[in-house]
A and B are shown apart, each in its own frame.
Chain A
Amino acid sequence: MRRLAIFSLAMLLLGLGCASRTPVSKGGSEASHQVAVESWLLAYDQQEERYLSLYEELKEKRGKDPQLIEARELASVAEEFYLMAEYETALELLQQAILFLEERRKVEETYP
């Protein structure tokens, strides 16, 4: 499941990375830029939802856990970059935050 999620994100990043680096002609540049931005926003939204649901789930049990604090800081810096339109960096950081939380949850499941 996790591998699949990582693979999907990798493909998404690759696709979006290509989209953001592809030079566009002046006439179509505005529309292409708009589409690329929309794709990033959508991807970020999806990842953020995943992050938030995991975070809420774990916060109940382990609010002051260092791993949770680290995940929160990763997500917070991710949003800073997202707001500065540095979408690729933002998504990578958010995915790191998700991985931290997934690892934490696995530990939680193994040693409840």
Chain B
Amino acid sequence: MSTKKLTEMKLSLGLIITVLVIGLGAQTANAQGGVEARRELELTDALLLKAQRLVIDEGCPSKKAHELLDQARNLQQEAWMAHNRGQHRLALSGTRAARGLAQEAIKIAERWRFVVRQIQSTRELLDEATKMVRVSQNPRAAALLEMALSQFERGQGALREGQIEQAFHLLKNANKLAREIITMLQQEDVGRERVGRELDRTDRLIDKARPLIEESGDEKARALLDRGVQTQIKAREFFNQGRYELAHQLTLNARELLVKALRMVEGLISPERVTGAIAATDELMERVRSIIMESQNREAVALFLSAGNHQDKAKGLLAAQRYELALAQTKIARRLVDRALELLGEASG
């Protein structure tokens, strides 16, 4: 065999081997592409099942969701056919597109489900807000309620027409407004309660101050008392008009006038005044000690002993020059003695 022929044979053999290797490689690649496409197709099938449950079985009213689901199903069907024909690349791109559409349909259906839940909770909030507005008669709250109710109605209408995105926004706004109204009126309630309490306190101060000032015959104090009472009357008027801030301010002003008047009559809390008060309590306690301690009434004895503790505290505080607290402690001691005597059916005189 000539050298030339041998070379030709070698070349032909090389070519055959190369073609065989390329063919084998292509077959393996195709088989691998088939596995991947099948896996992706199955994933899309699972997602389409979910989309069907949400969009069809649960009755999502969105036309768009139904259209998207139909398109997704068609694409998926074609993708399976391509896969069965061995066109795995085509199958892969088809199933991925189908999956994207199914995901969009699911998103719409889930939003619809949220909106349906939102309707129930918003209706409850609006009922609550309506009741509160009726009671409070607050015009701003009433205007907000009107707006909230209108958004709610429009939201429900949009939902009936399958306009889920629009319904979602309208109902979200209605829900937010209803919450705002409730918070606003709750805060108003707290304010009213607090101011009402302060007004009652000023009334009690008037009741305490009036006899003391009238008995004192101090004309300046009397004039202050009158101004205080007038200011308190105005405060009540504002309170009844729902102007709580102003009522609060006025009742505090009234109280300042009353305190000034009382201080004119009672004097400031001076060491002398505190010493006098402590001495008076001492005198009372000495006078009734035997009555209470020999009474065998456990509660009365306990109260008397506590009174002694407060009286000791008062003396300590007087020594420490804490006159306000000292006066307070001796007052408490005196009151406890009075309560003990009440238990025994006696009076301190």
Contacts and interface: CB of A to CB of B under 8 A. Distances in A.
A69 B339 contact: yes
A32 interface: no
A81 B339 contact: no
Nearest to A41: B198
Interface in A67-95: 69-70, 73-74, 76-86, 88-89, 92-93
Contact of A84 (B202, B259, B335): B259
B302 A66 contact: yes
A3 interface: no
A45 interface: yes
B201 A69 contact: no
Contacts of B302: 66
Interface size class of A (residues with CB under 8 A): 20 to 34
B97 interface: no
A33 to B, nearest CB: 10
Interface size class of B (residues with CB under 8 A): 20 to 34
B34 to A, nearest CB: 69
Contact of B328 (A41, A64, A66, A77): A77
B328 A81 contact: yes
A89 B332 contact: no
B118 interface: no
B88 interface: no
A37 interface: yes
B194 interface: yes
B331 A83 contact: no
B201 A79 contact: yes
B328 A73 contact: no
B325 A89 contact: yes
Contacts of A82: 201
Given A66-B306, A77-B331, A83 B336 contact: no
B306 A70 contact: yes
Given A45-B194, A70-B336, A73-B336, A83 B255 contact: yes
**Which of B202, B262, B299, B328 has the largest count of A CB atoms less than 10 A from its CB?**
B328
A83 B201 contact: yes
Sort A-B residue pairs by CB-CB distance and give the 9 closest, nearest first.
A66-B302, A89-B324, A83-B205, A73-B335, A66-B303, A77-B331, A70-B306, A66-B299, A77-B332
Given A45-B194, A83-B202, 14 more contacts: A64-B299, A65-B299, A66-B299, A66-B306, A74-B332, A78-B328, A81-B328, A83-B201, A83-B205, A84-B259, A84-B262, A86-B324, A89-B324, A89-B328
Interface of A: 37, 41, 45, 64-66, 69-70, 73-74, 76-86, 88-89, 92-93
16 contacts: A45-B197, A65-B299, A69-B336, A69-B339, A70-B306, A73-B336, A74-B332, A77-B328, A79-B201, A82-B201, A83-B201, A83-B255, A84-B259, A85-B255, A86-B269, A89-B324
Interface of B: 194, 197-198, 201-202, 204-205, 208, 252, 255-256, 259, 262, 269, 299, 302-303, 306, 324-325, 328, 331-332, 335-336, 339
